[in-house]
Amino acid sequence: MLLKGKVAIVTGGTRGIGNAIVRKFLENGAAVVLFGSRKETVEKAVKALKETNPEWSAEGMFPDLSDPQAVADAISAVKETYGKVDILVNNAGIAQSTSLYDYQPGEFDKIMDLNVKALFYTIQPAAKIMKEQGGGCILNTSSMVSISGQPSGVGYPASKFAVNGLTLSLARELAKDNIRVNAVAPGVTRTDMVAALPDEMVKAVCAGIPLGRMAEPEDIANAFLFLASDMASYVTGEVLSVDGAARA
């Protein structure tokens, strides 16, 4: 029970890595409010969690992450309900692989809006609450391509480079308020999208990973659990790679 008594918000928590983080936090005693993009997917995710364990303290919200006021209102509502916000996980994001020659400005804007600007919109109100209560923990989802880049879709690695910069800078700024800020940079992970790939493509991907397999969502969730817990009480300003030593 590494997070017993903690209150966490997890954006992008309805599926994939985000949902694995939600489950891992619940298993370790936290109360979790997951944010999703649509009412129906949020309700479905919360229902599944309750079916797994009716005792879990799990609920969901679906604020528009591109609207600073909607985000601030949602985070304020969590604080009003639970009395505090101990952990914020910024996991919502989108990937993209369009060639530079075919890139449209709107595509680049969409990536930046969700992968970068939405983090600022969630972190600012959450950090204010954390400062008032004496501290907290902010965790951001980066990517292996934030370190090595990728051969197409420049907006995605650019957005994750920005996540790293935001993480390192805010770790320094918020340390005086006892707020730790870290990021996790996952490698190729067996999400729904990857699970749909043909076996031969999966084998080709895994051939480039020294550990010989892609990550499971739980592998990534375990890293978030460590960084959220008191075991990492002296860890801030880190971008933790969880990629099996793969390089994009």
Length of the chain: 248
- Burial (CB < 10 A; 0-12, 13-18, 19+), residue 108, is middle
Which SS3 state, helix, strand or coil, does residue 147 take? helix
Residues whose CB is less than 8 angstroms from the CB of residue 183 and which lie 6 or more positions away in sequence, other chains included: 139, 140, 141, 142, 163, 164, 167, 238, 239, 240
Q: Which of 101, 103, 156, 234 is catalytic?
A: 156
Contact 208, 111 (CB under 8 A): no
Q: What gap in Å lies between CA 172 and CA 228, rounded to an integer?
A: 17
Which SS3 state, helix, strand or coil, does residue 156 take? helix
Q: What gap in Å lies between CA 134 and CA 28, rounded to an integer?
A: 22
Q: What gap in Å lies between CA 98 and CA 202, rounded to an integer?
A: 21
Whether 156 is catalytic is yes
Q: Tell me how far CA of residue 190 lies from CA of 108, 128, 132, in angstroms.
A: 25, 35, 39
Q: What gap in Å lies between CA 236 and CA 220, rounded to an integer?
A: 18
Question: What are the φ and ψ backbone dihedral angles of 29, each rounded to 5 degrees?
Answer: 90, 0
Positions marked active-site: 156
